[in-house]
Amino acid sequence: MDFNIEEIIIRVLQNTVSEEEMHFFSEWIHLTDKNKKLFFELKNIYDYRKGDLYLDGVELETGWNRLWAKLQKSKSKDEIVVTKKKSILFNRWKIATTAAVAGFLIWGVTLFYIRQETSVTWVEVHNPACSLPKTIHLPDGSWVQLNASSYLRYPKKFKNEERKVYLDGEALFNVIKQENKLFIVHSNKQQINVLGTRFNVMDYSTDAYSVTTLISGKVQLETFDEEKNLRDRIVMSPEQQLRFDAYTGQITLNQTDTHEVISWTNGIYSFQDVPLQQITDRLSKMYGVTIIVTDKESRAEKYTGKFSSNQSIEEVMRIINFHGEFRTIFSNDSITIALK
């Protein structure tokens, strides 16, 4: 099957991507650091969109081309390049009727003006795959531990009555309480409102689900549909874990062992009765590799285990395949798990 990366990126941002397309997207985003940078820039545009702008076709195309030119100064023929069919796609997108796609393109034009016109200076931190957790101190005294393959965006100074940050990936938040000044975490599939608390969020744009764990305090979590309309609003209590499936809209709220959940901050990864697909998704982000499980039923099989981040991916694969049920095929930056 032929895939078009431009269209897949749009569907990833809208949470409408298929499983097959998600595998392709995962391979593409791990191919080069340039691809990661490009996707996060596009995601910033998409997340930043708050209203409608009206620009003619010439302004739209000019701004769009400037965005690609800024992010891709050089191209390699053997890369998957997002701009390959840019002009053809632009003509098709220009007449698209869906609000999300139109808004996405329009904000692509205005990205260059937003940073000049706003008084807010943004700090962007990307912790790449195979990295140790990174500690980030926010301007209000709060601090964040950012996991591998994760991205955090926050203002250099909180100026308004709200403290807003943007997350793609996993992070442990320790939020300082400030009266009448809400702390808001925007991630791909949800929004978390807090005053002062400690909680863990795992919400990667490449995953169909998000997992939020409250360690102390209280948070209000909001989920949204594809049109960004409010779907659910849930108040969480300590030691609760909320899992949100963006495909089905299903929410699961359970008690959990918070020490196990945040063990990644100490380089330990624990999982208990977790489907193989979720485990391999997490390993992909940790080690910067693409892992494909060929058998559909095997993806749903649940496993319990623990490993250290200083172990090689080969060692971890041996732990998972303790009973020898699979064939593990290593090829460059990809791993295929198949039944024997």
Clarify whether residues 143 and 171 are in a common domain: yes
Residue 141 inside a domain? The answer is: yes
Clarify whether residues 168 and 234 are in a common domain: yes
* β-bridge pairing 162-174 and 182-186: parallel
What residue type is 312 in one-letter code?
S
Domain boundary among 257, 289, 315: 257
**Residue 292 pLDDT:** 87
End-to-end CA distance of the chain: 26
Residue 13 inside a domain? The answer is: yes
**Residue 36 pLDDT:** 73
Considering the entire predicted model, what is its pTM? 0.65
pLDDT tier for residue 15 given thresholds of 50, 70 and 90 = low
% of the chain beyond a pLDDT of 90 = 30
Residue 221 inside a domain? The answer is: yes
Residue 327 inside a domain? The answer is: yes
pLDDT tier for residue 139 given thresholds of 50, 70 and 90 = very high
Residue 77 inside a domain? The answer is: yes
pLDDT digits (tens, 9 = 90+) for 267-326: 888 888 888 888 888 888 888 888 888 888 888 888 888 888 888 989 988 888 887 888
DSSP assignment, residue 24?
H
The mean per-residue pLDDT over the stretch 88-93 comes to 36
pLDDT tier for residue 178 given thresholds of 50, 70 and 90 = confident
Task: Match 């599939």 to its residue by tokens.
Answer: 189
Per the model's pLDDT, the better-predicted residue between 148 and 206 turns out to be: 148
**Residue 339 pLDDT:** 83
Clarify whether residues 126 and 112 are in a common domain: no
Residue 262 inside a domain? The answer is: no
The mean per-residue pLDDT over the stretch 140-162 comes to 91
Clarify whether residues 170 and 208 are in a common domain: yes
Per the model's pLDDT, the better-predicted residue between 105 and 202 turns out to be: 202
Clarify whether residues 136 and 85 are in a common domain: no
Clarify whether residues 135 and 247 are in a common domain: yes
> Which domain, by its residues, includes 200?
122-257
Clarify whether residues 253 and 271 are in a common domain: no
Clarify whether residues 232 and 319 are in a common domain: no
Residue 46 inside a domain? The answer is: yes
Asked whether the beta carbons of 53 and 106 are under 8 A apart, the reply is yes
Asked whether the beta carbons of 236 and 214 are under 8 A apart, the reply is yes
d(CA 236, CA 234): 6
Clarify whether residues 134 and 91 are in a common domain: no
CA 239 → CA 205, 260, 276, distances in Å?
Answer: 25, 11, 24
Asked whether the beta carbons of 84 and 72 are under 8 A apart, the reply is no
Clarify whether residues 322 and 202 are in a common domain: no
- Measured from the Cβ of residue 79, the count of other Cβ atoms closer than 10 Å reads 15
CATH value at residue 299: 3.55.50.30
pLDDT digits (tens, 9 = 90+) for 38-84: 777 666 555 544 333 333 344 434 444 554 454 444 334 333 333 33
3-state secondary structure of 15: coil
- Measured from the Cβ of residue 216, the count of other Cβ atoms closer than 10 Å reads 13
Clarify whether residues 103 and 135 are in a common domain: no
**Residue 1 pLDDT:** 57
Clarify whether residues 86 and 13 are in a common domain: yes
CATH value at residue 163: 2.60.120.1440
Residue 179 inside a domain? The answer is: yes
Number of domains in the chain: 3
DSSP assignment, residue 82?
G
Domain boundary among 100, 117, 134: 117
Domain boundary among 232, 257, 282: 257
**Residue 47 pLDDT:** 54
pLDDT tier for residue 210 given thresholds of 50, 70 and 90 = very high
